[in-house]
Amino acid sequence: QVQLVESGGGLVQPGGSLTLSCAFSGSIFSRYVMGWYRQAPGKQRELVAGVTSGGTTKYADSVKGRFTISRDNTKNTVYLQMNSLKPEDTAVYYCNAKVGSYVVAADFGSWGQGIQVTVSS
């Protein structure tokens, strides 16, 4: 059974940076498309970024140019580097894993517990 453990969240000022990490275990990492989703108060959970085993990435329009998703297939870990953070980035961020070869926005698969990212002055 897939287990996902996120780390790296916290409080940051607008314009600052954070890097989230997600450790994958319980299955074969290379079979999974990995992603980061977020859910802000009163909003649906949305795909922020996804990456295939081969390194193909997709991003939400709201984070393009600011966030970078990457994965290390030797360490079974996926990262989300977040730069130029805005208050509207405040949300609970969830690591996601789904078997496949393409990044898709549908929110199925396995989930981490979620970590809070708060962007505030």
- Residue-wise pLDDT tens digits, 6-41: 999 999 999 999 999 999 999 999 999 999 999 999
pLDDT value at residue 3: 98
pLDDT value at residue 103: 92
Q: Which residues are paired to 68 by β-bridges? A: 81
Q: How many other C-beta atoms lie within 10 A of the C-beta of residue 66?
A: 15
Helices of type H across 2-121: none
